[in-house]
Chains A and B, each alone.
Chain A
Amino acid sequence: MYNSFPKISLQRFGKINPQSIEDYSANGGFVGLKKALSLSPESIIDSIEKSGLKGRGGAGFPVGLKQKYTSGSSAENNIRFVVCNADEGEPGTFKDRMIMETDPFLLIEGMIISAYTIQATKGFVYIRGEYYASIENIKNAIKICYEKGFLGQNICGSGYSFELDIALGAGSYLCGEELTLLESLEGKRGYPRIKPPFPAEKGLWGLPTLVNNVETFSHIPFIVEKGHEEYSKIGTEGSKGTKLFCVSGNVTNTGVYELPMGITLKELIFDIAGGMKEGFEFKGALLGGAAGTFIDSSFLDVPLAYETLKEKGATLGSGAVIIIDDKTNLKEMMISILSFFKHESCGKCVPCRIGTTLLYERIKKPQLNENDFLWMQTQASYMVKNSLCPLGQSPDLPIKTVVKFFKNDL
């Protein structure tokens, strides 16, 4: 059944040797790129915009629009950058790794096309430091692409030139946040920058920069090759295309699944992932990772798409689907989540630096009562309003939703 759904990011999963550009080319690789180089950047951006593709890194920002902004920003000496966010640090998320380990050329192809749309001169793949296999794969793929003329001067004889390099993270979740990522890429401590300006205007080294997630880039060649109409046939009204879902927990077949937007949780877990492991009963899920939302079984039939989840106060986030069962210790899980935020807060702003500590201290309290719930929600709301970057806003959703659905388990 799973195989009957269209595949984009994982279309070559398991079918090719990820180190081989021949395999990649023989399986439809670089068709999109070659087509793109014959088109005008504007027409590609237009097509991406029409495709309805939204960023897969969590925030869901329309990709074509971002390209438009970035290419429209004035740049000194016309230098623009493309940066791939491959920092994948959201707990419960491991989809980008899957792409990089199984089809690295796809990411590179997506990046070159994107670079071409904004006429970028240089790009970086910022990969989290722990992803050794991904790093090796991407490094190798970049090297081969240079050898084969897909990177460097005059790509495929088109006259367009683009350099690509990797950059490494070193253990900081916050560095996945795009502006912090750019700071880190500039060799600094991972502090978020003040927004605005956004990267599209002032990004790497203060120049216009297009930042997208790995999965996002992996969709670009498909759209260019097959056309935006073909792409937007997949998915729901407000959420186009496929999405990688990272299923974890006590589920029979955990792992990454590429499915059209709008699939329900029930289908995902019970039809595709083989249902719950023996001895475990489905109780709910944490969608979108530590910064995501808890849901209960009433969500089983809600389509997994941006708009449908939003309507019910939930989020898709990066695509983490952490299944909670009857034996899950939710208090432990909350302690782990809040300890995560405390550990990952950079400490730049007061609400987040101190708030994450206060919340962590409070959740550890043995018997939590209504006052504690209220207090924690008040702090989290205050943090949402006053924090500098989204990390300080993150504890709010898990706290509110866990209280809403699983108060008695705390």
Chain B
Amino acid sequence: MQKELNKEQIISILQKYSPTKDNILKCLHELQDAHPQNYISKVILEETAKHFKLTKGQIFGIVSYYSMFSLKPRGRYLVRLCKSPVCNMLGAKSVTEYFDSKFNLKPGETTTDGMFTLELAECLGRCGKGPSMMINREVVTELDSKKIDEIINTKK
């Protein structure tokens, strides 16, 4: 499987956006999503900076500000587990612990096979049915160990 998003692929994505600054975040999203390791690589930083006429520091500053962007490689599947007050009240902590005990996956870490990364996120707007999480674009609510096993197994 491809591990990197190469320069040509990056440029072809960038070319879709006119270099006005309101496109920066949209562009970064698309580039990160296109990267097999779900992150903003150095080449992406460099090319995006060039495209939008930013300095390296500026693009680095932008990317590192927003918590959806990562400067480190992540797993193929990114699990974002809500830790905000409602989900917290509804048991988010035990879900976190379950990931650790069952899959040996702690927040901020990636499984050794490079498949899953677990991140703790703030409210995902699914509070009605917490605890909630997202796995890539998919939303999973009312989490319990059964649901987690199910979804992880389908991705494996």
Chain A residues with a Cβ under 8 A of chain B: 88-94, 97, 124, 128-132, 165-173, 184-190, 246-250, 254-256, 286, 290, 320, 322, 324, 328-329, 332-333, 336-337, 339-340, 343-344, 346
> Could you list which residues of chain B lie within 8 angstroms of chain A, going by C-beta atoms?
21-26, 28-29, 52, 61-62, 65-69, 80, 83-86, 88-90, 93, 121-130, 134, 137
Question: Could you say which of B66, B67, B127 contacts A91, with CB atoms under 8 Å apart?
Answer: B127
Residues of chain A within 8 A (CB-CB) of B89 are: 249, 322, 324, 328-329, 332-333, 336
Whether the pair B128, A189 counts as a contact (CB closer than 8 A) is: no
Do A254 and B129 touch across chains, with their CB atoms under 8 A apart? yes
> How long is the Cα–Cα vector from A171 to B134 in the complex, in angstroms?
13
Judge whether B66 and A130 touch: CB under 8 Å.
Answer: no
Give the chain B neighbours of A188 by CB distance below 8 A: 21, 62
- Lowest 4 CB-CB distances: which A-B pairs, in order? A187-B24, A170-B66, A171-B68, A171-B67
Of B22, B62, B93, B127, the residue contacting A322 (CB under 8 A) is B127
**A94 in complex: contacting residue of B52, B90, B128, CB < 8 Å:** B128
Q: List 29 A-B contacts (CB under 8 A).
A: A89-B125, A90-B123, A91-B84, A91-B86, A91-B122, A91-B127, A94-B125, A97-B125, A129-B25, A166-B26, A167-B22, A169-B25, A171-B67, A186-B22, A187-B22, A187-B24, A187-B25, A187-B62, A188-B62, A190-B66, A246-B128, A247-B128, A249-B86, A332-B88, A333-B89, A336-B83, A339-B83, A343-B67, A346-B65
Given the known A-B contacts A124-B22, A336-B85, are A131 and B125 also in contact in the complex, defined by CB atoms under 8 Å? yes
Query: In the complex, A340 Cα to B67 Cα: how many Å?
Result: 13
| Least CB separation from B83: chain A residue | A336
Q: How far is the CA of A128 from the CA of B29 in the complex (A)?
A: 12
CB B15 to nearest CB in A, in angstroms, measures 17
Nearest-neighbor residue (CB-CB) of A186 within chain B: B21
Chain B's nearest CB lies how many Å from the CB of A93?
7
A residues in contact with B121, CB < 8 Å:
130, 171
**Min distance, Cβ B2 to any Cβ of chain A, angstroms:** 23
Which residue of chain B has the shortest Cβ distance to A333 in the bound complex?
B85
**Bound complex: CA of A94 vs CA of B86, how far in Å?**
12
A91, A132, A332, A340 pick with most chain B CB within 10 angstroms: A91
Residues of chain B contacted by A186 (CB below 8 angstroms)? 21-22
A130-B130 contact, Cβ under 8 Å, with A249-B86, A322-B86, A337-B85: no
B22 touches A255 (CB 8 A): no
In the complex, what distance in Å separates the CA atom of A329 from the CA atom of B66?
Answer: 30
In the complex with contacts A91-B86, A168-B26, A130-B128 CB distance below 8 A: no
Given contacts A92-B85, A189-B61, A324-B89, 5 further A-B contacts (CB under 8 A): A170-B69, A186-B22, A188-B62, A332-B93, A333-B89
Find the B residue at minimum CB distance from A398: B85
Q: Are B134 and A255 in contact (CB under 8 A)?
A: no
B21 near A248: Cβ-Cβ < 8 Å: no
B120 to chain A, nearest CB (A): 9
How near does chain B come to A159, taking the closest CB pair, in angstroms? Answer: 26
Which residue in B22, B80, B83, B125 is a CB contact (below 8 Å) of A88? B125
Please, how many angstroms separate the alpha-carbon atoms of A247 and B129 in the complex? 10
